[in-house]
Amino acid sequence: MPVASIPGGIRRTAAVAAAGTAAALALSGCGSSAPAKPAPTASASTSPAPSPSTDAATAADAQILAAYRGYRQVEVQMFATGTGSATAQAKYSNGNALAQDLKALLDYQKAGVIFTGQPKLAPKVTEVDLAAKPPQATITDCFDATNWKPVYKSTGQSALTPGQSLRYVEVITAQVLDGSWKITNVDLQKDRPC
């Protein structure tokens, strides 16, 4: 049975709180009949070492965001040139995300459409479950396509659908596949402006 995802901030806060409680109990001499000694005052220049679970979560967040940015970089290049391959995109994606991009590329090729400019990204890792099989994560992004526009390759004229939302929330799923984080699904939530 899969382990339920825990929001990253909650998991990290719980790990830090547990470590702090354990340290407080150890310093207070819990269970000892000797009087408790006051805890030494920490100097301003020292800080507690991060717990191993915090280190793992921070490292995972960095890898997840790198996979997402790599996925977007390949996607932008594919749509700018109107060419691409499953091999290039498969370095960063798999499953539904890979299939959607390859289908979109074929549709744009048939319509003679390419994209100019670059989208703006603001991704945040909002959930991570490293205990899941495979490990998985959720990224929430405010995807801004204001400066990333479809144009007809032959004329350079806009191919943008009138009234199309250009700035909206995307919820992205990532999983560890073949030893690295890959984007497996991208849910465009165009009814959620950001």
**Residue-wise pLDDT tens digits, 115-128:** 999 999 999 999 99
Q: Is 9's pLDDT higher than 60?
A: no
Give residue 102's pLDDT: 94
Domain spanning 54-193, CATH architecture: Roll (3.10)
The pLDDT of residue 4 is: 36
Q: How far apart are CA 177 and CA 192, in angstroms?
A: 30
Distance CA 14, CA 177 (A): 28
Provide the CA 30 distance to its chain's centre, in angstroms. 42
Dihedrals φ, ψ of 25, to 5°? Answer: -65, -40
- pLDDT 10s digits, 15-74: 333 333 333 333 333 344 444 444 444 444 444 444 456 777 788 999 999 999 999 999
State yes or no: pLDDT of 14 exceeds 60.
Answer: no
Domain boundaries, the chain: 54-193
Tokens representing residue 69 in the block? 């940015």
Mean of the per-residue pLDDT values for the chain? 80
Share of the chain above pLDDT 70, in %: 73
